Structure 1
């Protein structure tokens, strides 16, 4: 039996980063369905309107206008209907404070945006193939930050 498509949301205000990410996902040739958003308010509106068809995984940039990634993360993790969605922080920031804050607020993994296409593809593939049930049951600061 074929596994259902992995539904992925990417929220990032940088159009080039969205295109780069989409190209990497397509290159992996995995059974995925990617939906992209420009800012957190757009993502939250989509999530709340599509509760029956929630994504399996959200990649969330931190620094965005209108509603940033930290605000989004808080809303997702405080919602009884959304809190179980896996959230991967996907940011240029490698600040210890950002990593610590997102860990405390319930993100499942932190990925600093890689500088090369190959690194990006490898990082996305690692995240997509992760056993989330196992990963989140033993989540600690050491396995929270994905090192590329």
Structure 2
């Protein structure tokens, strides 16, 4: 994937979103950053988006209404084969079963345990 010019945070925890936005900005990212506290709203956005902007999506697992795994299953047809979009779990869960489920979903490219760090964002921006 090319260097992301857009980040999307999908997490129902407002404090985590604020913290992760700070980490992304401290890493030197000054591009578009979208935050969704409701996974279904993020899915609706992706359905309307052209998906040509290099985008990194950080997705929480445990959310009401639509959890991260359900989001990934629903987004699979939209994002499959899109080399411009990288989807990563960003979660407080370190449960082996969550890691296993994520590893079995081709759309999910990484599993990061919160909190997001400046170094992880820099690695993404450097093309890691």
Q: Confirm or deny a common fold (TM above 0.5).
A: yes
Point out the structure with the larger helix share.
1
Q: Tell me the C-alpha RMSD between the 2 structures.
A: 2.1
1:51 is paired with a residue whose SS is: coil
Report how many aligned residue pairs link the two structures.
123
Q: TM-score, normalised by structure 1?
A: 0.74
CA distance in 1, matches of 2:48, 2:87: 18
Greater Rg over alpha carbons, structure: 1
Extract unaligned runs of 5+ from structure 1. 132-148
2:119 pairs with 118, 122, 132, which one? 122
Q: How far does residue 5 in structure 1 lie from its aligned partner after superposition?
A: 6.3
1:35 aligned onto 2:34: yes
1:111 aligned onto 2:108: no
Higher relative contact order (CA 8 A, sep 6+): 2
Is the contact between residue 9 and residue 55 of structure 1 (CA under 8 Å) also seen in structure 2?
A: no
CA distance in 1, matches of 2:57, 2:5: 11
CA distance in 2, matches of 1:28, 1:20: 13
Q: Which runs of 4+ in 1 moved over 6 A?
A: none
Q: TM-score, normalised by structure 2?
A: 0.84
